[in-house]
Amino acid sequence: MQLTDNSKVYVLILLGCAIFSLLSVTFGFFPYLGFSVSFILFLLLAFYIKNDKTSLTKVFFTIALILSIFLSIRSEPFITLLNILAIFYFSCLFVLTKKDDPDSIFSIILAPLMLFLQSAFIKNNYRLEFEGSVASQKKRGSALNMIAVLLVTLTILAIILPLLASANPLFERLLLSAADLIGLRGLKIDEAVLRWVVRLIIFTGLAYLIPRIATFVNKKEGFKITSRLALNLLIPKTAVAVVLAVFFIAQFQLYFSSKETLAALGYTYSNYANEVFAQLSIVAVIIMGLVYADTEKKKVNEKLALILIIEGIFLTFMAYKSVYEYSNAWGFTYKRLYGFAVATWILGIFSIYLYTFIKNVEKNVFLAKSAVYTGIILILINLANFDYLIYNFRRATTGAGVDYNYLSRLSSDSLSYGAQLNLLLKDFSDPATDLEKSQAESQGFRVLLHKIDFLQEKYKDFDIREYNLLEYLQYREVKNVDTKFIRDKYTLTNPADR
């Protein structure tokens, strides 16, 4: 008695769900390595299941795989969240893409949402079946279905019964009486049992959804939203082009204005740089949407589209200029470096569209190349390591000098805790005065000690599922730091009184 081919795949899916539940459900620290390994296993499983693998789907798979690896390397919270969302997104694109050219922009943007909506209700092709008579298969299927229904029922009851009991004391008494009747009153549920209940709930949900997603992988027709309004956008494109021409003239005047002129207009240098970047980036995205949405092939429309593309690229360079000037004056921060990344992304999208426009290539090619380019930008952001750049290349500053408070709040990715601690300690006399302690508080001294405490607590006796490469390298640098001694000697007893 042997399993069918689909049943073998189903067993692999169940194994993957079990591994995810074990590796990714921890109750201490964030499971960087657990998530990384789990996502890699699911990606490899999807690659194995998918029959028709085009060059585009392989690129999406590679991007998701690389970002999954970065989950166990980078520790900064925002980049971790960005990586998880990107892995989910490019994995969905890998599953849904059936050919090298997407059908429409909506197929790119809405595909992940529709994948899960359709997969939840699709007929599942993967279940546990044995090669043999139809009758025996039906019996086994009924038995397995009954077990699955029983597990789901118990899981639901385990969730709702305590909630209802806490809301109604009479119902709680009724439950306790029933528990006494069947001998469950003395049963104690410790933390370990609760953890396994949570893992079982997650496993059950994945075991229901993943086989359906796997069924969708080899569905001949992917999800399509091809409706595009055939609007003549000549008038709005003309209006935008004229407005931008006037704006460029005013912008040149503003660029050559003195600080006194900016102050008279109600601008500080900071407001000027930040607001110009944000506003120009938004306008550039709107221009790109306007150009892409136009379906008219008349020469005047095409000429206006080319003008708008060039103006959009020019706007992006203006955004570059604003963030560069502020970074040059006040150093790097997360916001400024992500500003460079966003401007680079927008410039690349415009460049790709300009190429497809000049070569008269189908817009579907633009969508595919833009999706791939977005994945490349995310990979480069991971490689760049903004925390390390901020601390080692152009430190954030204020009018009073280096912003030590900002530097003390960087993540472990900066690998700077030891150097930053020594930098702050060298300013103390022996014994330290209250004034020095107060100044250290304003420079993030207490925050830095807390971060070191966190690493020492996590990696003193750590769970391998929670391992992160840059966190561990930072821990090795500060593992012997006596934070209690430093805190007692160099921090205020009550910082609020400083």
Whole-number Å distance between alpha carbons of 375 and 372? 5
**Which of 96-110, 217-231, 295-309, 348-362 has the weakest average pLDDT?**
217-231
Pick the more confident residue, 376 or 123. 376
Mean pLDDT of 101-112: 62
| Tokens (6 digits) for 412 | 């472990």
- Confidence category of residue 50, pLDDT binned at 50, 70, 90: confident
Whole-number Å distance between alpha carbons of 324 and 334? 13
pLDDT tens-digit map of 442-493: 888 889 999 999 999 999 888 899 999 999 999 999 999 998 888 888 777 7
Whole-number Å distance between alpha carbons of 94 and 65? 11
Whole-number Å distance between alpha carbons of 319 and 313? 10
- Confidence category of residue 374, pLDDT binned at 50, 70, 90: very high
Beta bridge partners of 3: 130
User: pLDDT over 90 for what percent of the chain?
Assistant: 25
pLDDT tens-digit map of 157-196: 767 777 777 766 777 777 777 767 766 555 555 566 777 7
Whole-number Å distance between alpha carbons of 450 and 427? 20
- Confidence category of residue 225, pLDDT binned at 50, 70, 90: very low
Predicted model pTM: 0.80
Mean pLDDT of 57-73: 95
Closest C-alpha among 237, 251, 226 to residue 287: 237
| Inter-residue contact 16 to 136 (CB < 8 Å) | no
Question: What single-letter amino acid sits at 397?
Answer: T
C-beta neighbour count of 434 within 10 angstroms: 11
**Which of 135-144, 165-174, 383-392, 397-406 has the weakest average pLDDT?**
135-144
For residues 441-464, one letter each, b for 16 or more C-beta atoms within 10 angstroms of the residue's C-beta and e for the rest, the string is bebbbbebbebbeebeebbeebee
| Tokens (6 digits) for 474 | 């930072």
Mean pLDDT of 265-269: 57
User: pLDDT over 70 for what percent of the chain?
Assistant: 68
- Confidence category of residue 8, pLDDT binned at 50, 70, 90: confident
- Confidence category of residue 140, pLDDT binned at 50, 70, 90: low
Closest C-alpha among 405, 404, 402, 409 to residue 387: 409
- What is the structure's pLDDT at 150? 73
- What is the structure's pLDDT at 77? 94
In sequence order, the 6+-apart residues with CB closer than 8 A to the CB of 239 are none
Helix, strand counts (H, E) of the chain: 22, 2
Strands (E), 367-419: 397-398, 401-402
Closest C-alpha among 456, 476, 361 to residue 29: 456
